[in-house]
Amino acid sequence: MTRSHQDIRLALTLTQLLGRRIRENGKKYLNLSLAIAVVTWGIIGNNGRIWAQWVNTTK
């Protein structure tokens, strides 16, 4: 699996988790979740492989 595939898969997982949080907590956390998503995209861009390995080991 290439790094870009790992990045995409990790981003989708994080997006699903954020989506679940938004549904649980309502709109007041929407902006916070979006901010976290933006930061997370930056982290994925720089350290995608490290994060993918970390996520896989914490499952």
pLDDT tens digits in sequence order for the chain, 59 residues long:
566 777 878 888 888 887 777 676 666 666 777 778 788 777 666 666 666 666 777 65
Query: For residue 52, which of 25, 43, 21, 37 has the smallest C-alpha distance?
Result: 43
- 41's CB contacts (< 8 A; 6+ apart) are 11
Measured CA to CA in angstroms, residue 33 lies from 4, 9, 54 at distances of 23, 19, 21
pLDDT at 20: 76
Task: Calculate helix-pair angle for 3-25, 30-58, nearest 10 degrees.
Answer: 130
